[in-house]
């Protein structure tokens, strides 16, 4: 395990990937430091302190470099108990396999003496705290605001940390009336004609109970222009630092859209009254898809599930079953049962996404979803390569067209067009040899709604004109029987 973490650290000393997303609330913890003094995170937060948490390991080189830079010491001296008394700082050793000797700089798994010269508390054997914050690398450095909101401040300079500590969103509650927009909480995708539900997370950063506010929604347009969608009134009852989701409105989305959300009612602290949110238009794709997964170096951690809009599982692959080889491409052909909205969720048990075990970008994985027509890849193709760490990432798309679905169709070249159809449609196929033909059209219950004997058909290409205007809108199966072999296509009547 340590060797895996060490390889990841070679990258994380240069690039920072957050585990708990911005706008999350810190999990509470109570722990003894190495001097047997008890500390409770939310006791400090409730007293108005801002708290910096340095999750490190004694053997971690980048952790040692930052620790010895003196940045956190300088902050603690200026803003800690012997300074302005606004913050608390903790060094949290998150690897339980290390020892007290490692902390002292005399053990086998250490970069130096972590104790001498460190004036802020050190908490050892804190693997449970490390896990509760969903951390996956060292060092991970968070600033926790009095409200409990976290910011991954990382290996920042003194000035960089001060910018977080002094921001309007991280200050202790001091104004009577102070609503804070924490972030976007609405739909991330809009599929088909469905409305995207817009919502924001609203916090009371004020000292008085927050009972109402007005939130304006604006759509960002080209050339730095905005269009006001509307203003929506929220009412409720929020005590200091309490949070709720304010549901605003449902909108039709034609393309990727960025929205501004602003509190426009009376507020004592306008510096934290705004946030933004993005809604993506789901990609359109054919109902026959090909899923290609190129694995990272830890393939046994990867799984995926394909669901329809109702949350019903269409198909899935569990971790450690089919996906077993690193740096290998796996391919699945999937026929979506009907037109509509679908989601594909890619999961990683270790939370390191496509980068598991990778020492460079050459070792990361990728995911491609393509529309298929038989063996041919159509123009629609969705490509995902998420080199950021993730436990779960979700992609949404709309099946908006139908291609022929049965592998048995390949010997006939069976095609039905247009599909979907308002009424008239053409069935085209090629018979390699002569034989008796029969046509059936069935509804979703399997009942026949149209039958036609085609007689004895000669070898060659045939086109049958079908008038399906009498059918009610819905999905149907078209069966072409040739010499007692049935070839099937799916038809949508709109």
The domain tally of the chain equals 4
Q: pLDDT band for 411, please (50, 70, 90 cuts).
A: low
Tell me, yes or no, whether 96 lies in a domain: yes
Instruction: For residue 395, count other CB atoms closer than 10 A to its CB.
Output: 20
- On whether residue 189 sits in a domain, the answer given is yes
Higher pLDDT, 174 or 3: 174
Question: pLDDT digit string (tens) for 84-129?
Answer: 999 999 999 999 999 999 999 999 999 999 999 999 999 999 999 9
What is the reported pLDDT for 5?
28
What integer pLDDT is reported at residue 4 of this predicted model? 25
How confident is the model at residue 13, as a pLDDT?
32
Rounded distance between C-alpha atoms, residue 494 and residue 487, angstroms: 23
Same domain, residue pair 186 and 276: yes
Q: What is the pLDDT of residues 260-271, one digit of tens each?
A: 999 999 999 999
Angstrom distance (rounded) from CA 102 to CA 105 = 5
How far apart, in whole angstroms, are the C-alpha atoms of residue 361 and residue 388? 11
For 14-29, write each residue's pLDDT tens digit. 233 346 777 789 999 9
**How far is it between the farthest Cα atoms of the chain?**
98
307 and 221 in a common domain: no
CATH of the domain at 435: 2.60.40.2550
- CA distances (Å), origin 91, targets 67, 136, 260: 9, 17, 38
pTM across the whole model: 0.69
CB 141 within 8 A of CB 160: no
CATH number at residue 97: 3.40.30.10
pLDDT for position 490: 76
| End-to-end Cα distance, the chain | 56
Q: What is the per-residue DSSP string for 77-135?
A: HHHSTTTTS-EEEEEEE--TTS-HHHHHT-SSS-SS-SSTT--S-EE-S-HHHHHHTT-
Residue 26 per-residue DSSP state: P
> Where residue 357 falls among pLDDT bands split at 50, 70, 90?
low
- Residue 313 and residue 201 share a domain: no
Domain-ending residue, one of 138, 165, 192: 165
Domain span including residue 138: 2-165
Question: Which of left, alpha, beta for 340 (phi over 0: left; psi -120 to 50: alpha)?
Answer: left
* pLDDT digits 0-9 by tens, 160-207: 999 999 998 898 999 999 999 999 999 998 988 889 999 999 999 999
Q: How far is residue 96's CA from residue 93's CA, in Å, rounded to a whole number?
A: 8
54 vs 339 pLDDT, higher one: 54
User: Dihedral angle at the C-alpha atoms of 235, 237, 240, 243, nearest 10 degrees?
Assistant: -70
pLDDT band at 366 (very low <50, low <70, confident <90, very high): confident
Same domain flag for 223 and 311? no
Residues 299 and 275 in one domain: no
Relative to beta strand 340-348, strand 302-308 is: antiparallel
More confident: 414 or 466: 466
Strand ranges in 33-178 using DSSP code E only, listed in sequence order: 38-40, 50-56, 87-93, 122-123, 140-144, 150-151
**Per-residue pLDDT at 145 exceeds 90:** yes
Per-residue pLDDT, averaged over 220-237, amounts to: 95
Within this chain, do residues 213 and 265 fall inside the same structural domain, yes or no? yes
Average pLDDT of the residues in 220-230: 93
State how far the Cα of 240 lies from the Cα of 48, in Å rounded to an integer. Answer: 12
Q: How far apart are CA 62 and CA 72, in angstroms?
A: 15
pLDDT (average), residues 370-380: 62
Q: What is the pLDDT of residue 478?
A: 85
Range name among 238-247, 254-263, 423-432 with the lowest pLDDT average: 423-432
In this structure, of 34-48, 86-100, 345-359, the range with the lowest mean pLDDT score is 345-359
Q: What percent of the chain has pLDDT over 90?
A: 52
Eight-state DSSP code of residue 434: -
Output the CA torsion sign for 250, 253, 258, 264: negative
Check whether residue 346 and residue 205 sit in a common domain. Answer: no
> What pLDDT is recorded for position 418?
81
**Of 7-16, 347-356, 384-393, which has the strongest mean pLDDT?**
347-356
């Amino acid at each position: 395990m340590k060797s895996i973490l060490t390889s990841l650290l070679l990258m994380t000393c240069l690039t920072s990937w957050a585990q708990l997303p911005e706008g999350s609330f810190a999990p509470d913890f109570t722990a003894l430091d190495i001097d047997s003094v008890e500390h409770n995170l939310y006791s400090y937060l409730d007293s108005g302190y801002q708290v910096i948490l340095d999750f490190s390991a004694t053997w971690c080189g980048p952790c040692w470099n930052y620790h010895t830079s003196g940045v956190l010491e300088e902050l603690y001296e200026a803003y800690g108990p012997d300074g302005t008394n606004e913050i608390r700082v903790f060094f949290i050793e998150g690897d339980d396999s290390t020892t007290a000797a490692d902390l002292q700089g005399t053990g086998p798994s250490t970069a130096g003496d972590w104790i001498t010269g460190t004036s802020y508390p050190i908490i050892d054997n804190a693997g449970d705290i490390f896990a509760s914050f969903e951390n996956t690398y060292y060092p991970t450095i968070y600033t926790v605001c009095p409200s409990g909101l976290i910011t991954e401040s990382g290996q920042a300079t003194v000035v960089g940390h001060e910018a977080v500590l002094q921001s309007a969103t991280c200050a202790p509650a001091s104004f009577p009336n102070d609503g804070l927009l924490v972030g976007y909480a609405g739909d991330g995708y809009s599929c088909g004609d469905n409305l995207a539900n817009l919502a924001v997370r609203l916090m009371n950063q004020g000292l008085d109970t927050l009972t109402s506010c007005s939130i304006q929604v604006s759509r960002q347009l080209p050339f730095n222009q905005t269009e006001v969608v509307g203003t929506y009134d929220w009412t409720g009852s929020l005590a200091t630092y309490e949070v709720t989701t304010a549901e605003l409105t449902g909108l039709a989305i034609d393309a990727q859209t960025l929205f501004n959300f602003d509190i426009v009612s009376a507020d004592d602290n306008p510096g934290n009254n705004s946030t933004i949110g993005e809604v993506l238009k789901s990609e359109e794709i054919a109902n026959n898809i090909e899923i290609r997964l190129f694995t990272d170096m830890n393939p046994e951690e990867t799984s995926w599930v394909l669901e329809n809009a109702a949350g019903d599982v269409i198909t899935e692959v569990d971790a450690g079953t089919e996906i077993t080889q690193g740096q290998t491409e796996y391919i699945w052909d999937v026929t979506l049962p009907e037109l509509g909205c679908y989601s594909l969720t890619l999961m990683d048990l270790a939370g390191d996404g496509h980068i598991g075990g990778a020492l460079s970008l050459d070792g990361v994985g990728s995911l491609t979803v393509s529309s298929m027509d038989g063996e041919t890849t159509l123009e629609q193709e969705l490509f995902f390569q998420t080199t950021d760490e993730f436990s779960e990432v979700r992609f949404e798309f709309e099946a908006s067209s139908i291609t022929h679905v049965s592998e048995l169709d390949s010997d006939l070249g069976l095609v039905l067009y247009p599909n979907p159809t308002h009424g008239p449609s053409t069935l085209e196929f090629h018979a390699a040899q002569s034989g008796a033909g029969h046509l059936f059209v069935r509804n979703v219950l399997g009942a026949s709604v149209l039958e036609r004997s085609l007689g004895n058909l000669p070898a060659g290409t045939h086109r049958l004109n079908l008038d399906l205007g009498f059918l009610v809108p819905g999905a149907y199966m078209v069966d072409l029987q040739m010499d007692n072999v049935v070839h099937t296509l799916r038809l949508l009547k709109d």
